[in-house]
Copies of this chain bind each other. A is one copy, B any other.
Amino acid sequence: MSDGTAYARTARTTPTRYKDRATWERDAIHAILDSTYICHLGFVADGAPVVLPTIYARVGDRLYVHGSTGSRPMRGAAGPGLAVCVTVTLVDGLVLTKSAFNHSVNFRSVVAHGTARQVTDPEELTVALDALVDQAVPGRSGDVRRPNAKELAATAVVRLDLDEVSAKTRADGADDDEADLDLPYWAGVVPVSTVHGAPVPDASSTVPLPAYLRELR
């Protein structure tokens, strides 16, 4: 998300420790983290980088990230902890300029580094699983069959305390060089957003569409 001069209009939080941040910076980071539920989890396996998409939830100053039991990151996180990078990205627009060089993307992203540890305490695991369900569909955790002990044991969740975390955003228009402004090309922004379609009930679903799903649209 980086094209030449476009950087000049990119807001970026400095790589300050989370605990040393101003409230508005934390709020900005939280706002980005609360706007989606998909992250990309990076870790090192046999010396090589691995990046996997998964779901996450923010609870206060922590991220809970869903893994699969027995997978490499989970095995590492069950031991001494696993060095991870959790990155969350939202795309807001395509920025088209008259020069190819100055094209850019409007976006919001958060990059969190730290040591992930597997959640084993049943109480914390319950909080984490509720949060994972509610991050994507707020209100859903109160309208499902809750996990039983067997399911809790079969679920792998890691915790990453927000510590070394930075945010970067671009939210601006086309930024052409002066010399290019009169060129006869279209310039501007194409907004990009993620939308929910009409919920499609399963054959087993006999209750009306809950309010929290109507609001999701």
- For chain A, residues 140 to 155, give those with C-beta under 8 angstroms from any C-beta of chain B: 140-141, 143-147, 151, 154-155
A183 contacts the other chain (Cβ, under 8 Å)? yes
Q: Are A192 and B191 in contact (CB under 8 A)?
A: no
The number of chain A residues with a CB under 8 A from chain B is 94
Q: Are B140 and A96 in contact (CB under 8 A)?
A: yes
Main secondary structure of the interface of A (DSSP, over half): mixed
Q: 5 A-B Cβ contacts within 8 A?
A: A40-B40, A43-B49, A49-B85, A52-B111, A190-B199
Report which A residues bind B (CB closer than 8 A): 1-4, 7, 38, 40-44, 47-55, 66-68, 71, 83-87, 89, 91, 94, 96-101, 103, 105, 107, 109, 111, 113, 129-130, 133, 136-137, 140-141, 143-147, 151, 154-155, 173-174, 176, 180-202, 204-210, 213, 216
